[in-house]
Structure 1
């Protein structure tokens, strides 16, 4: 049975990844600081599971990380831990630098020291996989896509901090030989997404009868990737990716934000109509655009597809319908996030 140390495994993407990994027979040591985006209710199905070890701690705690590496001897470290919300990075960039840059550096140093001490076979097999974002590339015009060779041009404190972490990962491979892999993904969506992000925010506010805030004209374009497809891509890169390489992960689903919001409204109108029978699109309210808002992102994932054979299994329509259905069926999870009670309850926490 393989063992993986997963950081940030109580967050949105990390939580989905952990649930799928354990279901596939992987033993997971899950390290998460449980900041506001960490939610142990996402992992409730694993409470008491012998192949899931949850550790409440910070990737910047070198002593703790070193102990976990020595005790559990993982075959791989997968770094999902990150502050990731652009608006929050504009209001308070220091936390993003601390976690995404300083924390990643500490994790890399611990992984390097552990890897150096491994015996030959384990040393050869060990991997450090860093999960990053397409936002490091900046913004696109009306045409073109981001490839792995696109120059970095981050435009927010969040994307700048992720760009710095990507550079550190690359440097640790070229300087120390640490066997690293990096993935840069497009906008994820799906179950367990914190309701400050566009799709779960729209679902929650639409059901509550509140205005649905859309930045500017809503014509910002993103490439949408269903989270389960992203998890499969990461497993594929971990298994077969070339050491030292970067792989872009996209969903082949470019959509304008306003189009996404209207589609969510239509899905909710079908499944949970308003009492007055009016369409939820009437709740859309355009608000002032955020500073430095990138206009368009789009991913070229041909390297991942051509070299490793990955393709997304979900169309945007399939994934969005499944996402809306999940939120309708899991209103208790949403309620705990919205009222803050999820932060007061600790399920099976190991300190």
Structure 2
């Protein structure tokens, strides 16, 4: 039976940006496209949101000054997206700018929650597109809008995230169900690795043929869906500590993609929560299949146990790598000692950029 109760109300701001730094950063970034060099993602909007969220607004503009060499202008318009032709435009990267303009117009005319609720079920099947970055960018944007003031740049960031997702929308192929696994961690451990791991993510995802059955993906109620997503995010975050060496950059998305879905749930009608879990599981499992190494690393006993959450995030911010910052931000959402150890591992595995 479909649930029709209102969605969970937004929580109170936990790290308000009284300095206005986030809006300044987003205004700097919105003339830039969501990609560079044809397909690499622009991580700046996500990283600066994580920095501000975790009390490092003072580091944002210095970080952006360093990152600006990776920014490219928004691509030229190709053909207008309209309510009549959106289906043919879905998944067409030539229309990145057209989609951004479409959602800017939509969010100017209607509340952003209404726009999000309309488009969430349309976009969710293509969560793997753009290596899951569009969905992750949306999760950062929604978190800000739920917990801080709804300013123009923050709503526009939501529009750009939705536009990026629509342009890179890419459903996974039909997959064969494998033997069921009891927990999210067991299911991730049972995901088969793709046979050829020499190419990029698009070539690797094309080889995915089967996933284990994880019962959590079949959640039926809204509260159960939230709980199962929390389980999945925690399992993927914990797993990075031992398996992140397989691809230190790409494997962070096994955790950050489902966490983006989890962050978005409170902004959605509750009847959309349960269908979101299966897509989050597919994204996490796909990244795991594409990049997991053959075996785990062995870490010293008590690895990272002496560090607090603030100390771990301070290391990530000083390190400067965008994926490391975002993964550590997700690890702090999980909040336990294994998650902090995984975040510390990402600091060690990824090369520093500051």
Settle same-fold status: TM greater than 0.5: no
Instruction: Please give the range of the TM-score, normalised by the shorter of the 2 chains.
Output: under 0.3
TM-score normalised per structure 1: 0.24
Structure having the larger proportion of residues in helix? 2
Which structure is higher in strand share? 1
TM-score (norm 2): 0.23
